[in-house]
A and B are shown apart, each in its own frame.
Chain A
Amino acid sequence: MKDEEIIICRCEDITLKEIKDAIHKGYKDIESLRKYLQLSMGPCQGKTCIPLTEKILAQELKKRIDEMTMPTTRPPETPVPFGIFNKVKE
């Protein structure tokens, strides 16, 4: 398969080609990459694409995967509705 046909971030439809291009444009850490591509900013919050992108970054930069920094994990764990804190009327 070609790089432009491989989708890495499923929430935001971002392909392997877009990620590689961005790295070679100078977005060489996970946070800059996320903010440039909006990668991992969909409803799953990067659960699939962050580990994949870390691996791509390591390969492209010729580094080891344990040299890569990880983005901050932010709550909530899964999406919850705004109304969850409101009392239900009886």
Chain B
Amino acid sequence: MKNRDIVIIGGGITGLATAYYLVKSGIKNISILEKSYLGSGSTGRCGSGIRQQFTTKEHIVLMKESVKLWKEWNNDLPIPIHFEQGGYLWLLNNKKELAQHKKYVKYQNTFGIESAIISTKEAKEIVPDLNTNDIVGASWCHTDGSAYPFDVTNALQTFLKEKKVEINTFEEVNEIHIKNDKIQEVITTKDKYTTNTVINGAGYGAKYIGQLAGLNIPLQPYRHQIAASEPLRNFLGPMVVKDELYFLQTHRGRIIGGTDLKEPPLSNLNSTLNFLEEYSKQITSVLPILSSVNIMKQWAGYYIITPDRHPILGPTKINGFILGCGYSGHGFMLGPVVGKLLASLIVHKNMYIREANNLTLERFKTGKLIQERAVIG
């Protein structure tokens, strides 16, 4: 039996980032509980992109802050995380899309995001090998980028271990005990934790953890697949997006990316040939020089989708039960800001960015939903 100030359920970026900012605030009596290995869920399976080109105030403000924090992590964490601002180049197919994205860019600019609509010629200067036959321009943000998920997980883990934070892997939560709407205990496969504060950052498992606490969190898993190429000399700076297709080159030289097969909600992570074919056709039409490059492997992960495609953050009606889940495909990029917001909620009793308060579970009751239109892949 252990007595903890905070129990964090989930050893992905949400849990690790929250622990990081709690330690920075002087709270170290924490246990992180992970049912598998660290980063085994969506964090270690993600496409690694970090962007600010969103369409709602909530996403834009949070991602602007997150990019600022990614820069700090890049300097402060004990292992290089390869955060690089290579930009996001969002290719636009026709005049209608162009007009729509002009509006998005104008809106993003009002928050200080340095996005812009650029011409086909300018897009070709950024990616010289681009096939520009069927595009009319692009939305470009040079401060967007990516980081390397495994390195981020390992860097946060190294930091936390140096600070003697307890990280328990291969330990699964079975029960959460609540009395008078207040968290009392967490029971796992190995131990018992007395605590008044639990953070549910369990990703795919967040719905189940919610049920253990008697809460219905509206989350649905959608399988999304990714493939990685053999390593190539670095030639591609930005993340390239066209319709549902996205791809970038990692610092290790691989082209990684994916596309959306429009599958229904699904609870398996099998890889399919169908994906490989669709993705290969799309990527070679955008960047024909990749035709002779080898695909090395493919895998799948979940987008945990909420009804309005925004995360669910912060307090619930159960005292001490805090949520950080439902990122709808954007959990990795939001990781730093979510960690800081949840730590701030615990330490200062409020989430320090006003817009984050629009993202609590409460919104599904009050009907104050916020629709995100720009979800890729």
Interface residues of A (CB under 8 A from B): 26, 29, 31-32, 35-36, 38, 42-43, 45, 72, 74-76, 79-86
Contacts and interface: CB of A to CB of B under 8 A. Distances in A.
A31 B39 CA distance: 10
Given A29-B37, A31-B40, A74-B299, A81 B294 contact: yes
Interface string B80-112: 000000000000000000000000000000000
A26 B281 CA distance: 42
Contacts of A31: 36-37, 40
Contacts of B49: none
Nearest to A33: B37
Nearest to A86: B284
Nearest to B40: A31
Nearest to A80: B295
Given A75-B271, A79-B296, 18 more contacts: A32-B169, A35-B154, A36-B150, A36-B154, A38-B252, A42-B296, A43-B296, A72-B299, A74-B299, A75-B276, A75-B297, A79-B230, A79-B294, A81-B294, A82-B284, A82-B292, A82-B293, A86-B280
Interface string B288-326: 001111111111000000000000000000000000000
Nearest to A29: B37
Please provide the 10 A-B residue pairs with the shortest distance between their CB atoms, ordered closest to farther: A83-B291, A79-B294, A35-B150, A82-B280, A32-B37, A85-B277, A74-B297, A85-B280, A31-B37, A82-B290
Interface string B152-172: 011000000100000001100
A79 B273 CA distance: 13
Contacts of B277: 85
Interface string B19-60: 000000000000000001111100010000000000000000
Contacts of B40: 31
Given A82-B284, A83-B280, A35 B153 contact: yes
A13 B281 CA distance: 33
A22 B365 CA distance: 48
Contacts of B283: 82
A79 B295 contact: yes
B230 A76 contact: no
